């Protein structure tokens, strides 16, 4: 028996399971202090001690967290290629603009080859096995008195979508929109997998560069920027930015004349969940030619065209029109003095729900790119936000009160209606109902045999507007039970507030070890190894394999919980 895996049956917390303990290697700026003792825990993935035929292993003294350990082997640890140091991340050390980035350091990283055999990501998340939340027993047993809702981050879904790209992204590079979800663990995961980033403010640039992303992988995609943010981008080395007006050109000329500019044009879908053309984008026929000429007169360099047709549109022809306009502007720009046109940004707004598909729109976009941008000299980037974030997060909300009321139907007959009150609402994660036009679906944590009954779901605040679902059907639910809401990662947490004294949700992370195996296979990168410090911050209460050691939960964790821990 190896010394690192001493078995301590007497200290096992789960009947029938043996517990292995290993010394945690210390080091790194974000490590816990030496006095923060850790207790023993079941080690998933340990060939010597793993229980037979075990699909899921829970750290028993955790709350809302679970490490799902399928039968796939854990990824083989490798020497991880860390992200290059960010020379321009420190505003006090401006980066030289004379050195251009190499292929892999461009915005979005290197695009996949057209015959690279992209793989459709599996429609699954670590948070679910057979329709049940992996952390279900932990929620049920340990969090009955929680004061906060618990969004579960199924980090494997975002990782799968970044590595196993859909055919749509074969011809382009990926630039994740930070505004969709700025959770540091999600951003760090995407950065480790080679995506670029669409930032719209100084704070977002600070976040992305703080984790080691080179400024060449960032586009400052806000056509109406504050002057102070432009100056910060200049100091940080983020050269690529968008514009759509004369005022913005003058501002950039004053504060960052060496910028690499991308003109934002307007091409709206006839119907979109979130239209953007009303606020951003110049007319490609009447305004864009004049702005390109003005930029040339001012001595500013325009290197590309961008557009955003709107989020959540089902119209595919709008992409063809926008790409046609872009091709015409590429030719015009070359004629007026912009000889280095090399970037086409097709925007975002692609669906990100767990069971959504973008095959149809991908076929249309790829066909238009083959027709109008068949030459390989133009780098095409996309800005998916929902695609990575939406399905990766599942909200778990506690039913803390209920009330039965009687109301009349259209025929005047009285019917019973149950009102359920949960600990998150439209001022928290469900702001997406008001501002992002999302329709959420409530599910019970575990299947119930009872017949669904008419009901409504309400948030915790005292505002009558705080209604999550005005009319739905659910089986009878007792106070203290949990409701889950899938696809809650897009435009939810970044907008949440603590209105009326109800706290913003705290994230509990879930990870599937098979995903690390897949990510290692396709990216030659061990995500556990690469994101060790960030994982320690988020996964501090669960067990995870890393070489021949484990991270052990704090002793008596459940016994010490109170509302402040959520």
Question: Could you identify the residue written with the tokens 């030659």?
Answer: 524
Question: Could you identify the residue written with the tokens 């739905």?
Answer: 472
The closest alpha carbon to 531, from 81, 38, 73, belongs to 81
Nearest-angstrom CA–CA distance, 416 and 407: 7
Long-range contacts of 249-254 (CB under 8 A, 24+ apart): 249/291, 249/294, 249/295, 249/298, 249/300, 250/298, 251/225, 251/227, 252/300, 253/298, 253/299, 253/300, 254/227
Q: For residue 149, what pLDDT is reported?
A: 66
HSE value, Cβ hemisphere, 13 Å, CA-based, for 172: 27
Nearest-angstrom CA–CA distance, 378 and 303: 10
Contact 474, 399 (CB under 8 A): no
Radius of gyration in angstroms for the set of CA atoms belonging to the chain, rounded to a whole number: 25
Q: For residue 163, what pLDDT is reported?
A: 47
* Other Cβ atoms closer than 10 A to 424: 30
Which residues pair with residue 344 across a beta bridge?
305, 380
Domain ranges of the chain: 104-110+156-389, 393-501
Q: For residue 159, what pLDDT is reported?
A: 54
Contact 260, 252 (CB under 8 A): no
Domain 104-110+156-389: top CATH class = alpha beta
If DSSP states are collapsed to H, E and C, what string results for 254-273? Answer: HHCCCCEEEEEECCCCCCCC
Q: For residue 147, what pLDDT is reported?
A: 61
Domain 393-501: top CATH class = mainly beta
Nearest-angstrom CA–CA distance, 12 and 19: 5
Contact 166, 359 (CB under 8 A): yes
The closest alpha carbon to 545, from 73, 124, 7, belongs to 73
Q: For residue 16, what pLDDT is reported?
A: 35
Same fold: 104-110+156-389 with 393-501: no
Which residues pair with residue 263 across a beta bridge?
243, 305
HSE value, Cβ hemisphere, 13 Å, CA-based, for 306: 31
Residue 282 DSSP label: B
DSSP 376-415: TTSEEEE--SHHHHTTTEEEEEEEEEEEEEEEE-TTS-EE
Residues whose CB is less than 8 angstroms from the CB of residue 482 and which lie 6 or more positions away in sequence, other chains included: 139, 140, 143, 396, 397, 398, 399, 444, 445
Which residues pair with residue 6 across a beta bridge?
21
The closest alpha carbon to 273, from 306, 308, 314, 307, belongs to 314
Q: For residue 532, what pLDDT is reported?
A: 54
The closest alpha carbon to 264, from 350, 195, 322, 324, belongs to 322
Q: Tell how strand 343-345 and strand 301-307 pair up.
A: parallel
Q: Which of 20, 462, 467, 516 is catalytic?
A: 462
Residues whose CB is less than 8 angstroms from the CB of residue 96 and which lie 6 or more positions away in sequence, other chains included: none
* Other Cβ atoms closer than 10 A to 298: 13
C-alpha 298, offset from chain centre: 38
Q: For residue 351, what pLDDT is reported?
A: 65
Structure tokens at 315: 């119209």
Nearest-angstrom CA–CA distance, 384 and 470: 30
Nearest-angstrom CA–CA distance, 453 and 403: 14
Nearest-angstrom CA–CA distance, 326 and 281: 13
Nearest-angstrom CA–CA distance, 389 and 387: 6
Q: For residue 384, what pLDDT is reported?
A: 82
pLDDT in tens for each of the 566 residues of the chain? 343 333 333 333 333 333 333 333 334 433 333 334 333 333 333 333 333 333 333 333 322 322 222 223 333 333 333 333 333 334 444 444 333 344 445 676 544 333 333 333 222 222 322 233 433 433 433 343 446 666 555 545 555 555 444 455 566 788 899 999 999 888 888 887 788 999 999 999 999 999 889 999 999 999 999 999 999 999 999 999 999 999 999 999 999 999 999 999 999 877 666 777 789 999 999 999 999 999 999 999 999 999 999 876 777 888 999 999 999 999 999 999 999 999 999 998 776 555 555 777 788 888 999 999 988 789 999 988 888 888 888 898 999 999 999 877 778 788 889 999 999 999 999 998 988 778 899 999 889 999 999 999 999 999 999 999 999 999 999 999 999 999 898 889 888 899 999 988 888 776 666 666 666 665 555 555 555 555 555 444 433 343 333 333 333 322 333 333 33
Q: Is the dihedral of CA 559, 134, 396, 444 positive or negative?
A: negative
Instruction: Say whether 340 sits in a helix, a strand or coil.
Output: coil
Nearest-angstrom CA–CA distance, 292 and 263: 8
Q: Tell how strand 549-550 and strand 545-546 pair up.
A: antiparallel
462 is an active site residue: yes
Q: What angle do the packed helices 246-255 and 288-297 form, to 10 degrees?
A: 20
Q: For residue 144, what pLDDT is reported?
A: 37
Nearest-angstrom CA–CA distance, 472 and 469: 7
Exposed, middle or buried, 25 (CB in 10 Å: 0-12/13-18/19+)? exposed
Nearest-angstrom CA–CA distance, 388 and 183: 12
User: Structure pTM?
Assistant: 0.69
Q: For residue 46, what pLDDT is reported?
A: 37
Residue 428 DSSP label: T
Contact 310, 266 (CB under 8 A): no
Nearest-angstrom CA–CA distance, 342 and 330: 9
């Amino acid at each position: 028996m190896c010394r690192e895996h001493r078995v301590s049956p007497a200290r096992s917390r789960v009947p029938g399971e043996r517990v292995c303990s290993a010394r945690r290697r210390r080091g790194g700026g974000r490590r816990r202090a030496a006095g923060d003792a850790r207790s023993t825990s079941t080690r998933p993935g340990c060939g010597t001690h793993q229980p037979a035929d075990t699909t899921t292993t829970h750290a028993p003294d955790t709350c809302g967290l679970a490490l799902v350990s399928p039968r796939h082997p854990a990824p083989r640890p490798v020497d991880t290629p860390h992200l290059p140091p960010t020379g321009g991340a420190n505003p006090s050390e401006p980066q030289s603009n004379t050195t251009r980035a190499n292929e892999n350091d461009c915005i979005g990283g290197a695009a996949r080859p057209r015959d690279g055999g992209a793989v459709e990501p599996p429609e699954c998340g670590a948070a679910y096995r057979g329709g049940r939340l992996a952390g279900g027993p932990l929620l049920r047993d340990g969090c009955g008195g929680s004061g906060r809702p618990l969004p579960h981050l199924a980090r494997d879904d975002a990782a799968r979508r970044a590595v196993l790209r859909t055919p749509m992204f074969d011809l382009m590079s990926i630039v994740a929109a930070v505004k969709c979800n700025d959770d540091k663990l999600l951003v760090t995961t995407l950065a480790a997998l080679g995506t670029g980033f669409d930032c719209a403010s100084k704070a977002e640039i600070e976040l992305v560069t703080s984790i080691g992303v080179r400024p060449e992988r960032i586009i400052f995609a806000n056509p109406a920027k504050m002057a102070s943010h432009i100056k910060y981008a200049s100091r940080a080395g983020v050269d690529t930015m968008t514009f759509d007006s004369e005022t913005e050109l003058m501002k950039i000329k004053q504060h960052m004349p060496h910028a690499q500019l991308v003109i934002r044009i307007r091409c709206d879908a006839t119907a979109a969940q979130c239209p953007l053309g009303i606020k951003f984008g110049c007319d490609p026929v009447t305004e864009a030619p004049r702005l390109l000429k003005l930029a040339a007169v001012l001595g500013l360099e325009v290197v590309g065209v961008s557009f955003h047709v709107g989020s959540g549109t089902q119209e595919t022809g709008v992409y063809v029109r926008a790409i046609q306009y872009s091709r015409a502007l590429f030719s015009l720009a070359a004629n007026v003095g912009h000889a280095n046109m090399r970037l086409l940004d097709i925007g975002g707004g692609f669906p990100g729900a767990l069971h959504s598909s973008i095959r149809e729109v991908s076929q249309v976009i790829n066909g238009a790119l083959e027709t109008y941008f068949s030459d390989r000299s133009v780098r095409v980037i996309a800005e998916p936000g929902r695609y990575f974030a939406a399905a990766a997060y599942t909200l778990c909300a506690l039913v803390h009160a209920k009330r039965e009321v009687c109301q009349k139907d259209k025929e005047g007959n009285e019917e019973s209606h149950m009102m359920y009150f949960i600990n998150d609402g439209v001022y928290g994660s469900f702001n997406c109902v008001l501002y992002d036009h999302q329709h959420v679906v409530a599910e019970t944590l575990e299947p119930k045999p009872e017949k669904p009954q008419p009901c409504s779901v309400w948030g915790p605040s005292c505002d009558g507007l705080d209604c999550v679902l005005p009319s739905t059907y659910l089986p009878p639910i007792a106070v203290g039970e949990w409701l889950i809401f899938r696809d809650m990662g897009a435009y939810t947490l970044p907008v949440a507030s603590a209105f009326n004294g109800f706290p913003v949700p705290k994230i509990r992370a879930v990870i599937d070890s098979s995903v690390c195996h897949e990510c290692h296979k396709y990216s030659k990168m061990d995500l556990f190894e690469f994101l060790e410090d960030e994982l320690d911050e988020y996964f501090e209460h669960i067990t995870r394999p890393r070489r021949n050691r484990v991270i052990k939960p704090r002793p008596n964790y459940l016994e010490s919980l109170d509302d402040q821990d959520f």
